[in-house]
């Protein structure tokens, strides 16, 4: 049983992911999504510009939060400390809705090649935004790229642990998991050469 009480927007996201899994992304229409959510098409269009935006909206937000966190890091922050600030800001915005949605999102992606493609491009877009934000802080371009890749790995690993279906207890905050993952990867960096 979900612990969140879904609002209209969340119901639309859940309905869309269920339909993408069942019948594919391309075959699913806005009308079907609205119907499955028990809402009207006009309610759909109050929340999303089109079907594509259901998946893009989360990405845009995540990218913005990562960049804002990096921008807001203290002036003397090292590259990995700036990345850590980005992860804190993005992780802090993730709620139990995001966590409980993740098996549905994973199933939809596994079932659809087009969603796999979108997911891959999404991560490339996120990484480019983070690298640009690090370069804006005066970090050398090569260093910014490496710091970004470590940040992306930390977010993925933290998120995977937070949403691990094998958890039989409260997984706590996402930030706890991304912080632990970044610490682990920071140690790994000393073992490369």
Residues within the interface to its own copies (CB under 8 A)? 78-80, 114, 116-118, 120-121, 124, 140, 142-143, 145-147, 149-150, 153, 157, 184-189, 191-193
CB of 180 to its own copies, least distance (A): 11
Nearer to its own copies, 34 or 134 (CB): 134
> Smallest gap, in angstroms, from Cβ of residue 5 to its own copies?
36
Nearer to its own copies, 14 or 55 (CB): 55
Residue with tokens 């996201």: 13
26 by DSSP, 3-state: which?
coil
- Between 97 and 159, CB nearer to its own copies: 159
Residue number with CB closer to its own copies (27 or 120): 120
| Residue 177 and residue 159 in contact, taking contact as beta carbons nearer than 8 Å | yes
Cα torsion angle, 19, 170, 160, 137, sign: positive
* CA–CA gap between residue 9 and residue 12 (Å, rounded): 5
- Find the shortest distance in angstroms from Cβ 134 to its own copies: 11
Q: In the block, which residue shows the tokens 């934000």?
A: 133
Q: How far is CA 170 from the centre of its chain?
A: 20
Q: How far is the CB of 30 from its own copies (least distance, A)?
A: 21
Helix (H, G, I), strand (E, B) or coil at 192: coil
Can you tell me the distance from the alpha carbon of 18 to that of 103, in angstroms, rounded to the nearest whole number? Answer: 11
**What's the min distance (Å) between Cβ of 125 and its own copies?**
10
Between 58 and 125, name the residue whose CB sits nearer to its own copies. Answer: 125
Distances in whole angstroms, Cα of residue 45 to Cα of each of 21, 31, 35, 39, 62:
22, 10, 13, 11, 22
């Amino acid at each position: 049983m979900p612990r969140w009480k879904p609002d209209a927007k969340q119901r639309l996201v859940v309905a869309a992911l269920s339909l993408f899994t069942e019948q594919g992304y391309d075959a699913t229409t806005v009308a079907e999504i609205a119907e499955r959510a028990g809402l009207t098409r006009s309610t759909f269009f109050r929340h999303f510009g089109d079907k594509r935006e259901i998946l893009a909206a989360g990405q845009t937000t995540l990218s913005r939060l990562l960049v804002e966190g990096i921008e807001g890091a203290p002036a003397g922050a090292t590259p990995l400390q700036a990345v850590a600030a980005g992860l804190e800001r993005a992780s802090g915005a993730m709620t139990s809705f995001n966590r409980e949605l993740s098996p549905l999102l994973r199933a939809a992606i596994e079932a659809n090649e087009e969603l796999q493609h979108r997911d891959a491009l999404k991560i490339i877009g996120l990484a480019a935004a983070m690298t640009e934000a690090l370069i804006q802080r005066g970090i050398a371009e090569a260093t910014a790229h490496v710091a970004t890749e470590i940040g992306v790995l930390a977010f993925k690993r933290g998120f995977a642990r937070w949403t691990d279906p094998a958890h039989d207890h409260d997984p706590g905050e996402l930030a706890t998991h991304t912080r632990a993952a970044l610490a682990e990867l920071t140690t790994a960096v000393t073992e490369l050469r």
